[in-house]
Amino acid sequence: MSLRPIFKLVAVAACVASAAAIGIAVGADDGPPPAAAPAVVSLWPGSVMYRVAGDFTSAGKPVGAPLTMVRIDRPLAIMTHQVTAADYHRCVQDDACPPLAPEVVPVADRPAVKVSWRDANAYAVWLSSRTGVRYRLPTDEEWAYAAGSRFKDDAMPNFDADDPAKRWLARYDREAGEQQPSDREPRPVGSFGANENGLLDLAGNVWEWTSTCFVRRVLDAAGTTIGEPTVNCGVRVAEGRHRAYVVDFIRDARGGGCGVGVPPSNLGFRLVRDEDSMLRLRALVGRLRDAVGLRGAG
Amino acid sequence: MTMRTTGTVCAAMAALVFSLPAPSRNLDLPREKVDLVAPPFVHDHEQATTRTPRIVEFKLVSEEKQVVIDGEGTKIHAMTFNGSIPGPLMVVHEGDYVEVTLVNPATNTMPHNVDFHAATGALGGGTLTLVNPGEQAVLRWKATRPGVFIYHCAPGGEMIPLHVVSGMSGAVMVLPRDGLKDGSGRQLFYDRIYYVGENDFYVPRDDQGRFKSYASATDAYADTLVAMRSLTPTHVVFNGRAGALTGNNALTAKVGETVLIVHSQANRDTRPHLIGGHGDVVWETGKFSNRPETDLETWLIRGGSAGAALYTFRQPGIYAYLTHNLIEAVQLGATAHFKVEGAWDDDLMMQVQAPEPILPAVRGALEQPAHSAYHR
């Protein structure tokens, strides 16, 4: 297997990048070229107030989703920017990802758009095998944690349960009122700015896939789930200016017809890098050595 | 047959009443100047009038300009009347004279004219209004037939379809002097009127399948003709652009309000449908002397015509108004939304149970087919 030495080299490079990322609480690491180890922001564990995704009913009527405190109990390494069209195209060239839509130009400074949840996963599998580090889509909770102030609580006031139109109209107005860029044309990376964690382009005109499935729960009067929820993993949560539930093989969520609402302008993604526990231990040891001045003794 | 005879008699009476003295170059009739407004809105007008016929003056300015027709930023070199796609809706009453000044500013590059389907003679006025950049012409025609009719640019040859599929069409509504009536002669009124002009666009693609843009209409010409010849539009849109009548620009109404929707398509058949509503009273072919149809689910607007549908909203919420070729509605853009406020009517519809997991104890749960021969 002539590929093996190269693979190892890449893996080592990724380890170094991870260690560097772990060494700082919050911040971007530029890292080696994207195919090897994409730039990530590493976040310390913490908590986020999180409006649970999915639909909820109580006594046969729709009710608002509960708000919970979610604990992210491990460091979270998440891509600084969305996977670019050029990044994705490398996976296509390796025959590991379906081709981009013809109108999406594989350039380095624009996000990959018109990609389905399945495409995003194919990319994650490919990138993991290329780098030797596991990459995956974030859960919706992780996305919310990393997005910070750019995560929108999509709670609706509790409308008269007997008038289904009120909730519907309110949601339509809210989504229509979001500051929509006048076009859906993907913008250069960084055009929508950074959030307080240094992540670029969150809630711009590209929505991001998460691994969270659509779930419907029945609540009792106290808000406790009754019975088994309906879990539909053919529909995943996409995050952006508003939370959207999109069928996993859809590449373009534009609405019309029965789906009256404001659809995501574009579907793209960024990945989370899973930190191997040994890797994290080594990184910690490295930092401790640095701290006590044992440089180069490793 | 009865209807036709009545119509003919009426027309004859109208001719007697309205054409005396014989039309001359300078009609001795009151004049009214109307400022047109951009669709989907319509200028103020009387639904029925007690006034005598008049000359109603309109101004149409042809404007060539590049416009964006979808959310991806796809551009075409559009040709427009008064800068909008479609051109504005002009409302007059039967027996009125429409006097249109067609202006072709010197900033344009092409000759333009206007063919009114409601007018009689000279190719709908087309041969009398062909103006070059820097020219203008005035055409007067008598509104003899009540209904909604399209108008469009028709400068000759290949230019006719090209100008039409570049956006150059609009509509005229000729109301009966005593207003709209249902099939039994009962007076009908509307609280709001919207004009939805539908356009099919044919944007050339490069060899990667991406939409091309061109420096000028001349540069786009050859490729556009090829795209048109496919008879397969790349865009089918309302009000000139995919999504032009959704979101913040959604059409609005209130429960209990009656809305008249005038729908035109200058080139191609389409089938409007209001999801969650109906066409209470529909002039499918758009001509008000014909008995309107009632309670329609979907109606056909023939290419090269306009139709009108009257609907009273009975339930609040979001409605999609679209062409029920759903591929064109969803993928090519022909969808508008109505946002309707008001009180929900449980009698017409109610959600007896919101979607929940199937539980044996719950009414409606799948029953064991113990006695079913099918499962034996």
Three-class DSSP labels, B327-375: HHHHHHCCEEEEEEECCCCCCCCCCCCCCCCCCCCCCCCCCCCCCCHHH
Q: Do B356 and A255 touch (CB under 8 A)?
A: no
| pLDDT at site B352 | 87
Two tokens, residue B27: 């009609």
Known catalytic residue at B153: yes
Q: pLDDT per residue over B301-339, tens digit each?
A: 999 999 999 999 999 999 999 999 999 999 999 999 999
- Chain A residue with minimum CA distance to B345: A163
Rounded mean pLDDT, A55-74: 90
Q: Do B337 and A260 touch (CB under 8 A)?
A: yes
Rounded mean pLDDT, A63-70: 91
Question: How far is it, in rounded angstroms, from Cα B77 to Cα B98?
Answer: 29
- Residue B9 reports pLDDT greater than 90: no
Contact A191, A29 (CB under 8 A): no
Residue of A145 and B18 predicted with greater confidence:
A145
Contacts 24+ apart (CB under 8 A), B358-367: B359/A227
Residues 6+ away with beta carbon under 8 Å from A223: A58, A66
- Residue B51 reports pLDDT greater than 70: yes
Question: How far is it, in rounded angstroms, from Cα A83 to Cα A67?
Answer: 30
Question: How far is it, in rounded angstroms, from Cα B288 to Cα A195?
Answer: 59
Residue of A104 and A295 predicted with greater confidence:
A104
- Residue B2 reports pLDDT greater than 90: no
Most confident of A61-70, B18-27, B266-275: B266-275
Residues 6+ away with beta carbon under 8 Å from A207: A238, A239, A240, A241, A244, A246, A253, A264, A265, A266, A267, A268
Q: What percent of chain A is modeled with pLDDT above 90?
A: 54
Rounded mean pLDDT, B284-300: 98
Question: How far is it, in rounded angstroms, from Cα A261 to Cα B137?
Answer: 45
| pLDDT at site A60 | 82
Distances (CA, A) of B112 to B63, B69, B161, B168: 10, 22, 13, 9
| pLDDT at site B363 | 52
Contact B62, B81 (CB under 8 A): yes
Query: Is the four-CA dihedral B287, B288, B293, B294 of positive or negative sign?
Result: positive
Q: Do B357 and A163 touch (CB under 8 A)?
A: no
Q: Do A166 and B275 touch (CB under 8 A)?
A: no
Q: What percent of chain A is modeled with pLDDT above 70?
A: 77
Q: What is this model's ipTM?
A: 0.77
Two tokens, residue A47: 């908590």
| pLDDT at site B75 | 96
Known catalytic residue at B371: no
Lowest mean pLDDT among A120-124, A241-245, B304-308: A241-245
Question: Which domains does chain A carry?
Answer: 47-69+82-275 (3.90.1580)
Average pLDDT of chain B is: 91
Question: How far is it, in rounded angstroms, from Cα A117 to Cα A268?
Answer: 9
- Give ranges for CATH 2.60.40.420 in chain B: 29-178, 198-341
Instruction: Identify from B236, B326, B351, B359 which residue to disrupt to test chain A contact, counting A C-beta atoms within 10 A and taking the largest count.
Output: B351
Q: A220 at the B interface (CB within 8 A)?
A: no
* Bridge-based pairing state of the strands A207-219 and A267-268: parallel
- Residue B4 reports pLDDT greater than 60: no
- Chain A residue with minimum CA distance to B337: A260
Rounded mean pLDDT, B34-56: 98
Q: A181 at the B interface (CB within 8 A)?
A: no
Residue A288: which pLDDT band, with cuts at 50, 70 and 90? confident
Contact A208, A243 (CB under 8 A): no
| pLDDT at site B270 | 98
> What's the CA angle centered on A169, arms A164 and A173, to 5 degrees?
160
Q: Do A257 and B335 touch (CB under 8 A)?
A: yes
- Residue A16 reports pLDDT greater than 80: no
Nearest neighbour of A163 by CB, restricted to B247, B344, B352: B344
Chain B residues in contact with A254 (beta carbon < 8 A): 71, 330-331
Lowest mean pLDDT among A145-149, A252-256, B54-58: A252-256
Rounded mean pLDDT, B368-373: 44
| pLDDT at site A280 | 57
Strand partners, B65: B78
| pLDDT at site A254 | 74
Q: pLDDT per residue over A168-212, tens digit each?
A: 888 888 888 775 655 788 999 999 999 999 999 999 999 999 999
Two tokens, residue B17: 């009443």
For helices A3-22 and A117-131, angle between their N-to-C axes, nearest 10 degrees: 100
Q: A103 at the B interface (CB within 8 A)?
A: yes
Helices (H), chain B: 2-18, 159-164, 217-229, 326-327
> What's the CA angle centered on A27, arms A26 and A31, to 5 degrees?
135
- Residue B65 reports pLDDT greater than 80: yes
- Residue A7 reports pLDDT greater than 70: no
- Residue A26 reports pLDDT greater than 90: no
Residue B369: which pLDDT band, with cuts at 50, 70 and 90? very low
Contacts 24+ apart (CB under 8 A), B65-69: B67/B167, B67/B240, B67/B241, B68/A183, B68/B241, B69/B201, B69/B203, B69/B235, B69/B237, B69/B240, B69/B241, B69/B242, B69/B333
- Chain B residue with minimum CA distance to A114: B72
Rounded mean pLDDT, A14-37: 42
CB burial string B344-368: b at 16+ within 10 A, e below: beeeeeeeeebebbeeeeeeeeeee
Distances (CA, A) of B298 to A4, A152, B276, B278, B323: 64, 39, 12, 8, 9
Residue A286: which pLDDT band, with cuts at 50, 70 and 90? low
Which pTM was predicted? 0.82
Chain B residues in contact with A180 (beta carbon < 8 A): 247
Known catalytic residue at B115: yes
Q: B275 at the A interface (CB within 8 A)?
A: yes
- Residue A32 reports pLDDT greater than 80: no
| pLDDT at site B11 | 46
User: At A54, is the secondary structure helix, strand, or coil?
Assistant: coil
Known catalytic residue at B346: no
Residue of B370 and B119 predicted with greater confidence:
B119
Chain B residues in contact with A102 (beta carbon < 8 A): 208-210
Chain B residues in contact with A228 (beta carbon < 8 A): 357
Neighbours of A7 (CB within 10 A): 14
Which strands, in side-by-side order, build the sheet including B293-296? B235-238, B192-201, B258-265, B305-312, B279-283, B293-296
| pLDDT at site B357 | 80
| pLDDT at site A44 | 95
Known catalytic residue at B112: yes
| pLDDT at site A179 | 58
Average pLDDT of chain A is: 82
H or E element that contains B180: strand B180-181
* Bridge-based pairing state of the strands A67-72 and A46-51: antiparallel
| pLDDT at site A27 | 36
**Nearest-neighbour CA in chain A from B250: distance (Å):** 9
Rounded mean pLDDT, A149-161: 80
Known catalytic residue at B163: yes
Residues 6+ away with beta carbon under 8 Å from B328: B233, B236, B270, B334
Residue B14: which pLDDT band, with cuts at 50, 70 and 90? very low
Q: How far is CA A167 from the centre of its chain?
A: 27
Residue B244: which pLDDT band, with cuts at 50, 70 and 90? very high
Lowest mean pLDDT among B18-22, B40-44, B137-141: B18-22
Task: Write the CATH number of the domain with boundaries B198-341.
Answer: 2.60.40.420
| pLDDT at site A59 | 85
Q: What percent of chain B is modeled with pLDDT above 90?
A: 83
Question: How far is it, in rounded angstroms, from Cα A281 to Cα A278?
Answer: 5
For helices A85-93 and A117-131, angle between their N-to-C axes, nearest 10 degrees: 70
Q: Which CATH superfamily is domain B29-178 in?
A: Cupredoxins -  blue copper proteins (2.60.40.420)
Residue of B115 and A221 predicted with greater confidence:
B115
